[in-house]
Chains A and B, each alone.
Chain A
Amino acid sequence: AQKITQTQPGMFVQEKEAVTLDCTYDTSDPSYGLFWYKQPSSGEMIFLIYQGSYDQQNATEGRYSLNFQKARKSANLVISASQLGDSAMYFCAMRDESTGGFKTIFGAGTRLFVKA
């Protein structure tokens, strides 16, 4: 069965510094996608970044980068130059891409606090 583990319930980071949010996953499927979402206190889920299991290079989207280590089954999110607006809940997620569809499982989340 697929599983996503986020071991950091909460993280603090100083404004303008970089922060890494940890995510490990478990799956026996050869084709899968890994995602990170941001959920501010307002509740909406905001897509941040995607990494396919066959992608050779780590994904980057602006200040977000995904450190993909396939052998370790980890997909950590790195946020560079943190901003106060980055304070939110962050979810790592995985989708089985071998069977089609958008069934996605989520980790428990990490709450990030950015300090001024």
Chain B
Amino acid sequence: KAGVTQTPRYLIKTRGQQVTLSCSPISGHRSVSWYQQTPGQGLQFLFEYFSETQRNKGNFPGRFSGRQFSNSRSEMNVSTLELGDSALYLCASSLVSLSSYEQYFGPGTRLTVT
């Protein structure tokens, strides 16, 4: 079974631009979560999507948004990029069931804002 895939793996953008990152979950997984990892703030939860609806949200400004498609693929968008948005963005997918608890992470997209 293929794992979680994220594209692109690396990205360089300029301050003020916007960026879209993509995440394809493991087949059958309907929950997709996004995390930002930086040396200063560590791993922080951005949001979670389940069945095309945002189910949970972290404490990030409105410049960070996401969506999920009917095939469970998810995208996150960051508008008006700031230098502080440079980070590793991790996507995780989960099988939603009474006994499931594990999140499977993708390799991440490393975003550099210059």
Measuring CB to CB, which residues of chain A are less than 8 angstroms from any residue of chain B? 33, 35, 37, 42-47, 50, 52, 91, 93, 95, 97, 100-109
Contacts and interface: CB of A to CB of B under 8 A. Distances in A.
B101 A43 contact: no
B15 to A, nearest CB: 24
B43 A102 contact: no
5 contacts: A42-B107, A47-B104, A52-B101, A97-B101, A103-B58
Given A43-B88, A45-B90, A45-B92, A103 B45 contact: yes
Given A52-B101, A101-B48, 5 more contacts: A45-B92, A47-B103, A95-B101, A102-B103, A103-B45
Q: What 4 pairs across the A-B complex have the smallest Cβ distances?
A: A45-B105, A106-B43, A103-B56, A101-B56
A46 B45 CA distance: 17
